[in-house]
Structure formats: structure tokens, C-alpha cells
Amino acid sequence: MVKDILSSHEERMQKSIDALKREFASLRAGRATPSLLDKVMVDYYGTPTPVNQIAKVAVPEPRMIMIQPYEKTMLHEVEVAIMKSDLGLSPNSDGTAIRLAIPALTQERRQELVKTVNKKAEEAKVAIRNIRRDGNDAIKKLEKGKEITEDESKKAQESMQKLADKYVKVVDTTRAGKEKEVMEV
């Protein structure tokens, strides 16, 4: 019973880490990655669809993303979606493909990105702490219902704390890596 609680809450903590990594991947750090376009939705015959599902996205150079829609008719729709997005990039179309040049970041923009990185990391830590609290509440409930002893409850809560500490360290490591990437010139 306690093991089930610990494993389910550890799974939730891992999902918080995965979500943080996806958030970090979509932050523009001065180099081109296909994941920059993950949040860009294209109107595909009336249905909002991610760019990577209707086009081939490639990175031919470190500061260039090339998008080739599977259907030529979608070229304009992809361009419009990129312009409407918060990426701040200007698409260049040659009739068959779209090229996105990724400009080098200014020092000011890098500092803004570091603030965003720190904010997202803090949100992930809060999520992990909330999961820990939920787990501890579930353990206390078992103790109240006389399903486990007080000692078992204490041990389980200590295990929950160790799990939370482990995942907070992962958040810190991930944050530090992304911060370093953003600050590289």
C-alpha cells in the first residue's frame, strides 16, 4: 500500500521533470532546434495541428530551421502560424520550403531567458513539493485508518521526502544546464 503511494507519487514527480524539460526545449537559446516549433499550431483544414505533423522540420545549420510542408498548399498556413506565434521569427519562403533564421541573442535577451528558466524551474519545484504533500497526506490517512503503524508512517514520509529531494536536485541540474546553454555566446 505504502509502496503504491510512493511509486505513484514518484511517477508524478518524473512527469513534472519531463514537463520542465519540454518547457526548456521550447525556449529559444540562440541555436536552432526543431522543438522551437512544438507550440506553433497550424490551421490544417480547420483543425489546429502542430507544425511537425504537417511538415518535415530540419536543422541544416546551427542557426537555421527548414520547414517543408508535406502539402504545398499548407506553405502559407505554416508561414501565418509562425508569424502569429510568440517566437519573434520571420519566415522566408521560396515556394517549396520555409527557412527560419535564428538570430544571435543579445545579452539583455539572454538575461530575460535566464529569468524565465529560473521561474519555470521554481514552478517545477513547487509542483514536486505539492506532490510530496499529497503523498504525505495519503500516508497519514492510512495511519489514521489504522492500516499502517506510526513507525511505518514516519518511514514512508521520510522516503517521500527523499524522493522530493532527489527530484528537486534534478530540477536544479536541468536548470543549471539550460542557464549555461542560454548564456553561451
Which pLDDT score is estimated for 126?
95
Angle at 91 between CA 116 and CA 113, to 5 degrees: 10
| Domain identity same for 174 and 133 | yes
pLDDT at 18: 92
Same domain, 16 and 40: no
Lowest mean pLDDT among 27-36, 39-48, 91-100: 27-36
Structural domain ending residue among the three candidates 101, 128, 159: 101
- pLDDT at site 133: 94
Share of the chain above pLDDT 70, in %: 97
For residue 66, what is the enclosing H or E element? strand 64-69
pLDDT of residue 159: 93
Largest CA distance in the chain: 71
Domain boundary among 101, 122, 148: 101
- Are 165 and 77 contained in the same domain? no
- Global pTM value: 0.69
Asked if 111 and 174 sit in the same domain, the reply is: yes
Q: Do 134 and 81 belong to one domain? A: no
Own/partner long-range contacts of 133-137 (Cβ < 8 Å, ≥24 apart): 134/9, 135/5, 135/6, 135/9, 135/160, 135/163, 136/160
User: Is the same domain home to 54 and 3?
Assistant: no
Average predicted confidence (pLDDT) for the chain? 87
Reported confidence tier of residue 72, pLDDT bands at 50, 70, 90: confident
Say what the pLDDT of residue 127 is. 94
Helix (H, G, I), strand (E, B) or coil at 96: coil
pLDDT of 118 reads 93
Q: How confident is the model at residue 174 (pLDDT cuts 50, 70, 90)?
A: very high
89 shares its domain with 38: yes
pLDDT at 41 over 60: yes
Q: Give the model's confidence band at 29: pLDDT under 50 very low, under 70 low, under 90 confident, else very high.
A: low
Q: What is the number of domains present in the chain?
A: 2
- Quick check: 166 and 14 in contact, CB under 8 A? no
- 116 with 169, same domain: the answer is yes
Confidence bin at 180 (pLDDT 50/70/90) = confident
60 lies in the same domain as 76: yes
The pLDDT of residue 135: 92
For the domain that residue 167 is a member of, what is the CATH number? Answer: 1.10.132.20
Q: pLDDT tens digit string along 81-139?
A: 888 877 777 888 888 888 988 877 778 878 888 898 999 999 999 999 999 999 999 99
In the predicted structure, residue 32 carries a pLDDT above the cut 80:
no
β partners of residue 100 = 65, 91
d(CA 74, CA 68): 9
Helices (H), the chain: 2-25, 51-54, 75-84, 107-144, 150-183
Q: Are residues 65 and 122 in the same domain?
A: no
Contact 98, 82 (CB under 8 A): yes
Residue 118 and residue 90 share a domain: no
CA distance 19 to 21: 5
Which range of residues forms the domain containing residue 61? Answer: 34-101
CATH of the domain at 42: 3.30.1360.40
pLDDT of residue 36: 78
Cell numbers for 13, please give them: 514527480
Same domain for 64 and 152, yes or no, is no
